[in-house]
Structure 1
Amino acid sequence: MTLEPLLRFLHIAGVTLWVGGMFFAYVCLRPAVAELLEPPQRLRLWQRVFARFFVWVWGAVVLIPASGLILLGRVGFAAAPLNWHLMLTSGVVMVAIFVYVATGPYAALKRAVDAEDWKAGGVALNRIRRAVGSNLMLGVLTIGLATLGRMLG
């Protein structure tokens, strides 16, 4: 029995969770929260949302590269199509951005919320917003590489 279908499922499930979560947070939740909540409530909400979401993203950041590298190893790095190499590159950048967000701006957001320093919290949340926006664009690009990438040749 081959593990390839399971590895592909785990890979796609991780990507769906991560990129779909970023899309929901960035495109749907962020504008609604900005319209309805004042900064203290908004920052507390985001801190709690990220605390829950990032647990899942940490799992995805382990699962996606692991499953992808196993699949890549089965084909061989040199024999893999160009789009796989591009997916790997963009995935590494996405993981780096997430690690930056989780250890930098998100840690600053947690400290600011705990200290009720709403100005510092707003600065941290804005850094998170920009990084998540970049990662969301990379995620969509990576999905495009996965699905349309064979057209690259």
Structure 2
Amino acid sequence: MIMDPLLHFLHIASVALWVGGMFFAYVCLRPAAGTLLEPPQRLRLWRGVFARFLAWVWGAVVLIAVSGVAMLARVGFAAAPLNWHAMLGLGLVMIAIFIYVYFGPYGALRRAVDAQDWKAAGAALGRIRQAVGLNLLLGALTIAVATLGQLAA
């Protein structure tokens, strides 16, 4: 069916956007910003980066969930390979962490930067860093399960 390649593309492209964006932010941008910018500039930068990136992640999360559920429905939950079930579970945990970041520490970061409360902004950024680090690891594990899990089938 024509929808299968389209669903697969949307799923993989959205995962690449989300996990790739986290990798870039955590491994490349964070260390560079930490050594090149003073806290007020660094925190303003992160506020702007997250405003743009998290909007894209919302779209990616929706596309990942819709495409994943649609592909699962085509096969049937009971007939789906074990690695699909693992992917679903890991994805739900990742989405929960993203929602926590968006409505928790990211909101605190926005408010603190707007108020020029650099200590509170730094604390919020630290919580975001920890959550993004965990989600990055879970994202890498999910990709491994999705691709290497096929070997066990």
Paired residue total: 153
Measure how far apart 1:150 and its partner are. Answer: 1.9
Cα pair 1:82 1:152 within 8 Å, conserved: no
Q: How far apart in 2 are the matches of 1:32 and 1:93?
A: 29
Q: Distance in 2 between matches of 1:103 and 1:128?
A: 11
- Distance in 1 (alpha carbons) for counterparts of 2:124 and 2:116: 13
Q: Deviations over 1:113-142 (max 9, x none)?
A: 000000000000000000000000000000
Q: Which residue of 2 aligns with 1:47?
A: 47
Structure 1 segment 62-141 matched on structure 2, within 5 A: 62-141=62-141
Structure 1, residues 39-73: CA drift from partner, whole Å, max 9, x if none?
A: 00000000000000011000011000110000000
Per-residue deviation at 1:2?
Answer: 2.4
**TM-score (normalised: structure 2):** 0.98
Contact 1:47/1:113 (CA < 8 Å) preserved in 2? yes
Give the structure 2 partner of residue 13 of structure 1: 13
Tell me the TM-score normalized by structure 1: 0.98
Counterpart-to-counterpart distance in 1, 2:5 and 2:152: 24
User: Do 1:87 and 1:142's aligned partners in 2 also have CA atoms closer than 8 Å?
Assistant: yes
What is the Cα-based RMSD across aligned positions, in Å? 0.7
1:53-64 map, 5 Å: 53-64=53-64
What's the counterpart of residue 151 of structure 2?
151
Q: What amino acid is the match of 2:2?
A: T
2-side partners of 1:140 and 1:52: how far apart?
23
Distance in 2, matches of 1:111 and 1:74, equals 44
Q: Give, as a single letter, the amino acid of the residue that structure 2 aligns with 1:47.
A: R
Work out the percentage of aligned pairs sharing the same amino acid: 72
The one-letter code sitting in structure 1 at the alignment partner of 2:67 is S
Structure 1 residues 11-60: Cα deviation after superposition (integer angstroms, max 9, x where no partner): 00000000000000000000000000010000000000000001100001
List structure 1 runs of 4+ shifted beyond 3 angstroms.
none
Shift of 1:152: 3.5
Structure 1 gap ranges (5+) = none
